[in-house]
């Protein structure tokens, strides 16, 4: 056995031990809505993303006029120092790829990971709330191609170790129309993805609110909703989490202010502002301020 094979076997054993510690039998059929009946199950109003992806730069907010980069085992920025993500493939973006992936995961919740499920391109476009037209059908098809043509390796030193190399879509086949364009998809999701969900380590978004946010506000929602009590986040750290190349602090601060206003209006944050140290400070719920014991009536 080579060193690589031995390391891979050790990684697999660590993942299996981690799943077992979370009450998930590694050799069983892994169906998300059965493993998480309260947060998934019949909750058609929610979409879910692993925290280790939500807090990383896997989905960028790059300007749509900028060509997408092609990355080769590039280490992406992550909010947590104990988590590393290596990515190979075409750059994925929050404005379309993230939405499409979360919706496809929703279609697959009711079947075991590794088993196929089907959906039409028209249904997908409708469910991500894009206008039904040829341009958006092509846009969704391009997202599916990118989500298949990548490799993601996550390392979480405090949890599962290495996730194994995962494509966001493991595989797909399609039925084409007379013009050769896919209209009906059959998709497979990698069973290894379960390690990123085990132990409820994922973020649930209210879909109708989340999908209509701007890309920057959506990444901010990823950060906020992946924490019960979000820590203050510097706007520079958030810029890196967004994969933004806007290094003009004043310009980026204005962009973040608009995103803060969006998430507050959507009631994703009850309180949010940028403080004097350029930190995004927020709370998901209103915090009641108790009067001190020596408070006197005036």
Closest CA to 47 of 122, 119, 100: 100
Q: Which residues pair with 203 in a beta bridge?
A: 49
Specify the pLDDT at position 45: 93
Q: What are phi and psi of 85, to 5 degrees?
A: -130, 120
CA distances (Å), origin 219, targets 54, 60, 85, 242, 259: 8, 8, 17, 7, 9
Residue range 165-197, pLDDT digits in tens? 999 999 999 999 988 899 999 999 999 999 999
Q: Report d(CA 195, CA 184) in Å as an integer.
A: 29
Sheet holding 150-156, edge to edge: 70-76, 83-90, 150-156, 161-166
Specify the pLDDT at position 5: 58
* 131 pLDDT tier (thresholds 50, 70, 90): very high
Question: Distance between alpha carbon 86 and the CA centroid of its chain, in Å?
Answer: 15
Mean pLDDT of 227-242: 96
Give pTM, 2 decimals: 0.92
Residue range 7-40, pLDDT digits in tens? 678 888 999 999 999 999 988 889 999 999 999 9
Residue range 45-79, pLDDT digits in tens? 999 999 999 999 999 999 888 899 999 999 999 99
CA distances (Å), origin 166, targets 21, 98, 221: 22, 16, 24
Mean pLDDT of 135-141: 97
Report percent pLDDT > 90 for the chain: 84
Helix-helix angle 249-265:215-225, to 10 degrees: 70
Specify the pLDDT at position 43: 84
Specify the pLDDT at position 285: 78
Specify the pLDDT at position 46: 95
């Amino acid at each position: 056995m080579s060193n690589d094979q031995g390391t891979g076997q050790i990684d697999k054993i660590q993942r299996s031990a981690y799943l077992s510690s979370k009450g998930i039998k590694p050799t069983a059929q892994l169906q998300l809505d059965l493993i998480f009946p309260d947060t998934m199950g019949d909750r058609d109003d929610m979409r879910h993303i692993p925290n280790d992806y939500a807090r990383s730069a896997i989905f960028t907010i790059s300007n749509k006029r900028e060509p997408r980069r092609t990355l080769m085992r590039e280490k992406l920025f992550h909010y947590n120092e104990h988590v590393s993500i290596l990515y190979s493939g075409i750059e994925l973006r929050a404005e379309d790829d993230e939405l499409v992936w979360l919706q496809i995961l929703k279609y697959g919740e009711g079947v075991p990971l590794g088993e196929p499920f089907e959906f039409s391109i028209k249904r997908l476009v409708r469910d991500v709330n894009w206008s039904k037209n040829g341009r958006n059908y092509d846009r969704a098809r391009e997202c599916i191609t990118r989500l298949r043509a990548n490799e993601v390796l996550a390392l979480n030193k405090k949890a599962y170790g290495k996730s194994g190399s995962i494509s966001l879509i493991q595989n797909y086949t399609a039925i084409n129309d007379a013009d050769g364009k896919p209209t009906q998809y059959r998709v497979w999701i990698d069973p290894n993805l379960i390690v990123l969900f085990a132990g409820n380590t994922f973020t649930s978004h209210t879909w109708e609110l989340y999908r209509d946010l701007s890309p920057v506000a959506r990444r901010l929602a990823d950060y906020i909703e992946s924490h019960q009590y979000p820590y203050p986040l510097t706007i520079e750290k958030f810029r890196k989490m967004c994969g933004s190349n806007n290094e003009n602090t004043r310009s980026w601060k204005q962009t973040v202010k608009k995103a803060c206003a969006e998430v507050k209006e959507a009631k994703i944050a009850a309180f949010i502002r940028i403080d004097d140290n350029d930190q995004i400070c927020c709370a998901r719920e209103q915090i009641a301020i108790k009067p001190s014991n020596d408070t006197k009536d005036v």
